[in-house]
Amino acid sequence: MGYPSGTRYTVGVGWHLWIYDYTNPLKTNGPWWRISQLRGQNVTVDMHHMTLAVTTLADIPDDWTDGHRPVVVLRADAHSTAWQSNGGADTLTVDAGYGQLIAEHLIPDA
């Protein structure tokens, strides 16, 4: 980090998966459920790309009927104690076109 000519430093990146019911979209009071463990990695100054890998299984509540639709969300955070080194204007770029989130509907054997 620290592009283009400032202090370079390591940035910690954390990520995890969440799910919410589309019948209650994007409300901050929920219900949202975290469905994966928090994962993280340090991005060093010589790293160019980092893959955020996470897999999980999530159970849908039994009382959800046809009107409910689960939405899977990847939440990520970048942070560093050195963030103010260059005046606090540094940014972390997320490359467009490289990511994918695949969710499969698995029906258990009866």
Strand partners, 11: 43
Residue ranges of the domains in the chain? 11-82
Assessment of whether the complete model's pTM goes beyond 0.75? no
Could you tell me if 80 and 104 are in contact, meaning their C-beta atoms sit under 8 angstroms apart? no
Torsion sign across C-alpha atoms 39, 44, 45, 48: negative
Interval 36-85: pLDDT, tens? 999 999 988 888 777 888 888 888 888 877 777 888 888 888 888 888 88
Instruction: Specify whether the CB–CB gap between 15 and 31 falls below 8 A.
Output: no
